[in-house]
Amino acid sequence: MLLGFLLFYVGAVLFLNGLWLMGRIADREIVVINVVSGLVAAGVVIDGAFGSGASPDTIRDAALTLMFSTTYLWVAHNRMAAVDGRGLGWFSLFVAITTVPVFLRAIATAGSTTDLWLAVNWLVWGVLWFMYFLLLALGRPILRQTAWVTLLTGIFTGWLPGFLLLDGLI
């Protein structure tokens, strides 16, 4: 159930960040969903890493989830501090590189359609983080493309599966 909860808010923040990148939401207004989503992800991290059921697998998952939490809180900080985001761009490269072995491990160990779907999500998220690196750290003119990929990634890797998991449909 925690996965559905987390994905639901990942979907919300990515969808809204996509709209923000399109200029449809103001810089200061986007802070709220990034803080909320960052805190939701941080709660999942704390439970997985330090909760009573913590295991090597949940601690690994918590470390990976912390990349999401850090990203959302960093976006919120950047909007409040009115900085250019280059630091977040370089962090995004670190995350994008990290998603490669995560994707490969997930593909190699996939035992179900859900496992395969989650592996593909890691690939999509890695591509998205790499786009943030190109946009923020290197200043590549891909804002429009990044906005659309962010919005669509939010719907298809976050909101929709999160909603379905929370509703017990998958």
Contact 150, 18 (CB under 8 A): yes
Rg (C-alpha) for the chain, rounded Å, is: 15
Please report the pLDDT score of residue 108 as a whole number. 97
**Six-digit token string for 32:** 């709220």
Mean pLDDT rounded to a whole number for the chain:
97
Query: What would the mean pLDDT of 22-39 be, rounded to a whole number?
Result: 97
Residues 6+ apart with CB under 8 A from 7: 157, 158, 159, 161, 162, 165
Query: What would the mean pLDDT of 128-139 be, rounded to a whole number?
Result: 98
Domains of the chain listed by start with CATH number: 1-167 (1.25.40.600)
Please report the pLDDT score of residue 14 as a whole number. 98
Look at the block and give the residue holding tokens 């900085």. Answer: 83
What is the pTM assigned to this prediction? 0.95
Among residues 118, 119, 153, which one has the least CA distance to residue 4?
118
- Report percent pLDDT > 70 for the chain: 100
Query: What would the mean pLDDT of 65-69 be, rounded to a whole number?
Result: 97
> Distance between CA atoms of 169 and 163, rounded to whole angstroms?
9
Inform me whether the pLDDT recorded for 1 exceeds 90: no
Please report the pLDDT score of residue 75 as a whole number. 98
CA quadruple 126, 48, 70, 10: dihedral positive or negative?
Answer: positive
Please report the pLDDT score of residue 7 as a whole number. 97
Query: What would the mean pLDDT of 60-89 be, rounded to a whole number?
Result: 97
Residues 6+ apart with CB under 8 A from 169: none
Residues 6+ apart with CB under 8 A from 53: none
> Distance between CA atoms of 39 and 28, rounded to whole angstroms?
18
Please report the pLDDT score of residue 10 as a whole number. 97
Query: What would the mean pLDDT of 114-122 be, rounded to a whole number?
Result: 94
Inform me whether the pLDDT recorded for 170 exceeds 90: no
